[in-house]
Amino acid sequence: MPSPNAAVLLDVRRLTKIYTTGFLKTVSVVGCQDVSFLVERGEIVALLGESGSGKTTVANLILRIFRPTSGEILLAGKDVFSYPPRVYYAKVQQIFQDPYAAFNYFYRVDRVLHRALTFKHQRLASAERRERIMEVLDIVGLNPSEVLGRYPHQLSGGQLQRLLIARALLIEPDLVVADEPTSMIDASSRAGILNHLFDLKDRGIAILFITHDVGQAAYIADKAVVMHKGKVVEQGPASQVLFSPTHPYVQRLLSDVPKLREKWDFSRELEGAALFKDQPR
């Protein structure tokens, strides 16, 4: 057996998930097929693909929500299912697509932070708890007086998502799986959320950043793994995969991104204006 590479945190090996659904007649749906990639400690890996390509299936397998049909996932060289749940979820955490769904509406949001601290450090004096919470709120740019003591419905999606990043900072896992963490956030808060993911990286936390957005992947990721119809079609350094893709699917994904650096063709705009001029008012 080859000696384990200490830099490798997550080793996804030939992962396949076939869903079987149906009531009278069983139907098999491929969730993901033969998916392999590595996440090294402290790096951001983008798992990129259009809707239905199998990204959430891979995320849920890593989060142990269900077992793979075949293949395996190793965390620090050991099968993920060999870890007791408490140990595993101290190492692997999730940031949800829908921050509203991650909070219990009956409790103030502080509870999520306190529970995270209890999860990580069983005994911590209340002054120290407060200090740790203030520190992480400051990192994610939240004003304590605007969020502490509030209920989830009193906060915006962007604020709740920042709280979840603060929660991850308190737990200090080795890996955060972030499945489309900006898709339900208003556009003005998106860049902030992406930037705060870098705060996790600064603490040595690796991130599997799941997105259908090539721009976000290019902005944030060290490495990109592109999925299409359940399979990995291309992977490598983000700059290489996203800026000079070889696979036609990635080229098509890229061509859908607005080209910010390209000069606007005003003559085409004038053509349009001319067309309007001929329209009866």
Ligand X SMILES: Nc1ncnc2c1ncn2[C@@H]1O[C@H](COP(=O)(O)OP(=O)(O)O)[C@@H](O)[C@H]1O
Where do contacts with Mg ion occur on this chain (CB under 5 A)?
Answer: 56
Q: Out of ligand X, Mg ion, none, which partner does residue 57 contact, by CB within 5 to 8 A per kind?
A: ligand X
Q: Out of Mg ion, ligand X, none, which partner does residue 54 contact, by CB within 5 to 8 A per kind?
A: ligand X
With contact defined as beta carbons under 8 Å apart, do 41 and 22 qualify?
no
Helix, strand, coil percentages (3-state) for the chain, rounded to 5, are 40, 25, 35
* Least distance to Mg ion, CB of residue 240, Å: 25
Residue nearest to Mg ion (CB): 56
* Count of CA atoms in the C-beta half-sphere (13 A) of 102: 26
With contact defined as beta carbons under 8 Å apart, do 212 and 223 qualify?
no
* Least distance to Mg ion, CB of residue 36, Å: 19
Q: Out of Mg ion, ligand X, none, which partner does residue 19 contact, by CB within 5 to 8 A per kind?
A: ligand X
- CA dist 245 and 89 (Å) reads 35
- CB nearer to ligand X: give 183 or 240: 183
- CB nearer to Mg ion: give 42 or 181: 181
* Least distance to Mg ion, CB of residue 195, Å: 23
With contact defined as beta carbons under 8 Å apart, do 160 and 100 qualify?
yes
Burial string for 30-53 (b: 16+ CB within 10 Å, else e) reads bbbbebebbbeebbbbbbbbeeeb
* Least distance to ligand X, CB of residue 25, Å: 14
- CB nearer to ligand X: give 53 or 182: 53
Contact positions vs ligand X (CB under 6 A): 19, 21, 29, 31, 49, 51-57
- CB nearer to Mg ion: give 31 or 158: 31
Q: Out of Mg ion, ligand X, none, which partner does residue 52 contact, by CB within 5 to 8 A per kind?
A: ligand X
- CB nearer to Mg ion: give 137 or 177: 177
* Least distance to Mg ion, CB of residue 216, Å: 14
User: DSSP H helical segments within 92-186, as ranges?
Assistant: 110-120, 126-139, 144-147, 157-171
- CB nearer to Mg ion: give 170 or 232: 232
Per the DSSP assignment, residues forming a β-bridge with 19 are 29
Q: Out of Mg ion, ligand X, none, which partner does residue 198 contact, by CB within 5 to 8 A per kind?
A: none
* Least distance to ligand X, CB of residue 59, Å: 7
Q: Out of Mg ion, ligand X, none, which partner does residue 16 contact, by CB within 5 to 8 A per kind?
A: none
Mention every residue, 6+ apart, whose C-beta is less than 8 A from residue 73: 10, 11, 12, 13, 15, 61, 62, 79, 80
- CB nearer to Mg ion: give 108 or 231: 231
Cα dihedral: 102, 65, 222, 71 (round 10): 180
- CA dist 226 and 250 (Å) reads 7
Number of neighbouring beta carbons within 10 Å of residue 147? 21
